[in-house]
């Protein structure tokens, strides 16, 4: 079946949701910091780290702190949504062709390699700190778009689309880094079990199974649980499950229009009921219209449309609330100038900017890509600065990189300092280099 590439429910709506979600993320972070540095810190620590939740069934036990379930459970849903976004962009979005994808992908590679190099150079004489090299590699799309939104209409929509595509490619890189480098021990038996359930999902996709409930049940009870006990971080299961979700419509556009027009004529020809309630025949036709609408949509797009507000307005703010509560004890400047914190700051603020800018320059110079329509280099440099806002994924990786709680706290100080610096510098730069459109 041939069909035109379909953009999701609109890149503008996607960006608007990320933008408002970014503002909510900032608010949740502020609450976490205030809570953790107040007289109520014991309640913060007890709620997220000491309070246990879960269930047991015979010898099978699934228990953990709320912090654990947020990072391994809720964040798996976040990664599931990211997986849906990646698949959608590859099939019919900004990553669907080399012409579209080359600039954001190459920029994302530069924005991962150079920050990791900067981190390594700063802590090169401290091998025990090297494991944190992946922390400054990620860009927080919600935060970055939230900052862009503050600049209003002066920001070209194509610049926002470029940042979105860059961050999605960046997320894919971060997922690979987590899967390959932040896995300590691997239980082969559990991975084989996960692979079997993945095969079931893939076969179901090709067999035409379109029910989201089927993928949810098999994905959770099979793939996610197997990953949870495999040693590979459970959030990777979210991405893999997302890649099995069908991205094909059941009927093509022409068939959809023909059937819909026939049903509308049928509905119009039914005698009116002369009261607020529908007749049985009218209700039946509307049900048929619902079925036709369902067949004309892809399960992938429907699921992304459903999941995106949940991750943006619930999962990420809860993650920030439970992870951003860094309690500052002692001299804050001493924490900021710790090698781990400095390495992260240099990586996110300077490394991101140089990596994205230089790699973008190279790919355009070699004529493998062009700048987005209406975007100038000085504006792209501003986005490269904003890409240093690493918040969500960087904090997530810091939890995996270090076992020492003190190092985790120091890393978070570095992440938040770097993200604040990147946000301020990027916003000031874009304010100076872009003008409000004339009315």
User: Which residue is associated with the tokens 């996110």?
Assistant: 348
| Residue 436 reports pLDDT greater than 80 | no
| 28, 317 contact by CB (below 8 A) | yes
Q: What percent of the chain has pLDDT over 70?
A: 93
Kindly state the DSSP code that residue 251 receives in the 8-state scheme.
S
CA distances from 260 to 250, 267, 271, 288, 352 (A): 14, 10, 19, 9, 50
Q: How far apart are CA 98 and CA 121, in angstroms?
A: 33
Q: Tell me the average pLDDT across 320-348.
A: 89
Could you give the angle at the alpha carbon of 172 between the alpha carbons of 319 and 428, nearest 5°?
A: 70
Express each pLDDT in 352-381 by its tens digit.
999 999 999 999 999 998 888 888 999 999
| Residue 15 reports pLDDT greater than 50 | yes
Question: 20 exposed, middle or buried (CB, 10 Å; 0-12, 13-18, 19+)?
Answer: middle
Question: 364 exposed, middle or buried (CB, 10 Å; 0-12, 13-18, 19+)?
Answer: middle
| 82, 239 contact by CB (below 8 A) | yes
| 388, 426 contact by CB (below 8 A) | yes
Question: 50 exposed, middle or buried (CB, 10 Å; 0-12, 13-18, 19+)?
Answer: exposed
Nearest to 357 by CA among 380, 390, 376: 380
Partnered with residue 54 across adjacent β-strands are 63
| Residue 16 reports pLDDT greater than 70 | no
Could you give the angle at the alpha carbon of 193 between the alpha carbons of 191 and 198, nearest 5°?
A: 90
Partnered with residue 400 across adjacent β-strands are none
Output the pTM of the full model: 0.78
| Residue 204 reports pLDDT greater than 90 | yes
User: Which residue is associated with the tokens 């099979």?
Assistant: 222
Q: Highest-confidence range of 1-10, 207-216, 304-313, 342-351, by mean pLDDT?
A: 342-351
Q: Tell me the average pLDDT across 198-227.
A: 91
Average pLDDT along the chain: 86
pLDDT band at 316 (very low <50, low <70, confident <90, very high): confident
Cβ atoms within 10 A of the Cβ of 3, count?
Answer: 13
Express each pLDDT in 261-285 by its tens digit.
999 999 888 887 777 888 888 889 9
| Residue 8 reports pLDDT greater than 60 | no
Q: How far apart are CA 238 and CA 214, in angstroms?
A: 15
pLDDT band at 13 (very low <50, low <70, confident <90, very high): low
Q: What are the helix and strand counts (H, E) for the chain?
A: 21, 2
Express each pLDDT in 173-203 by its tens digit.
888 888 888 877 778 888 899 999 999 999 9
């Amino acid at each position: 079946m041939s069909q035109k590439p379909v953009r999701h429910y609109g890149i503008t709506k996607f960006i608007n949701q990320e933008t408002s979600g970014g503002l909510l993320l900032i608010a949740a972070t502020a609450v976490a910091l205030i809570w953790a540095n107040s007289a109520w810190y014991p309640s913060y620590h007890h709620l997220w780290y000491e309070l246990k939740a879960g269930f047991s069934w015979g010898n099978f036990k699934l228990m953990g702190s709320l912090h654990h379930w947020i990072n391994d459970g809720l964040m798996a849903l976040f990664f599931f949504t990211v997986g849906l976004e990646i698949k959608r962009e590859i099939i019919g979005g900004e990553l669907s062709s080399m012409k579209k994808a080359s600039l954001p992908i190459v920029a994302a590679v530069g924005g991962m390699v150079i920050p990791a190099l900067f981190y390594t150079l700063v802590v090169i004489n401290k091998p025990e700190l090297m494991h944190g090299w992946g922390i400054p590699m990620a860009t927080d799309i919600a935060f970055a778009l939230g900052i862009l939104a503050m600049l209003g209409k002066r920001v070209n929509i194509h610049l926002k689309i470029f940042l979105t595509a860059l961050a999605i490619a960046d997320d894919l890189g971060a997922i690979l880094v987590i899967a390959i480098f932040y896995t300590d021990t691997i239980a082969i038996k559990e991975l084989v079990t996960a692979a079997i359930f993945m095969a079931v999902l893939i076969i179901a996709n090709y067999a035409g199974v379109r029910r989201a409930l089927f993928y949810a049940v098999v994905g959770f009870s099979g793939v996610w649980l197997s990953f949870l006990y495999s040693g590979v971080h459970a959030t990777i299961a979210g991405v893999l499950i997302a890649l099995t979700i069908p991205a094909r419509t059941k009927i093509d556009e022409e068939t959809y229009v023909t059937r819909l027009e026939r049903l509308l004529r049928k509905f119009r020809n039914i005698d009116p009921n002369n009261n607020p309630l529908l007749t049985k025949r009218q209700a039946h036709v509307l049900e048929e219209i619902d079925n036709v609408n369902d067949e004309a949509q892809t399960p992938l797009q429907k699921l992304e449309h459903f999941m995106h507000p949940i991750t943006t307005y619930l999962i990420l703010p809860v993650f920030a609330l439970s992870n951003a509560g860094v309690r500052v004890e002692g001299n804050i400047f001493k924490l900021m100038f710790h090698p781990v914190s400095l390495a992260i700051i240099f990586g996110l603020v300077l490394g991101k900017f140089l990596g994205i800018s230089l790699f973008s320059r190279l790919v355009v110079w070699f004529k493998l890509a062009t700048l987005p329509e209406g975007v100038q280099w000085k504006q792209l440099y501003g986005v490269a600065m904003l890409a240093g806002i690493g918040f969500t994924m960087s904090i997530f990786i810091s939890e995996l990189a270090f076992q020492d709680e003190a190092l985790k706290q120091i890393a978070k100080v570095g992440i938040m300092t770097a993200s604040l610096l990147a946000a301020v510098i990027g916003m000031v730069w874009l304010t100076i280099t872009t003008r409000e459109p004339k009315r």
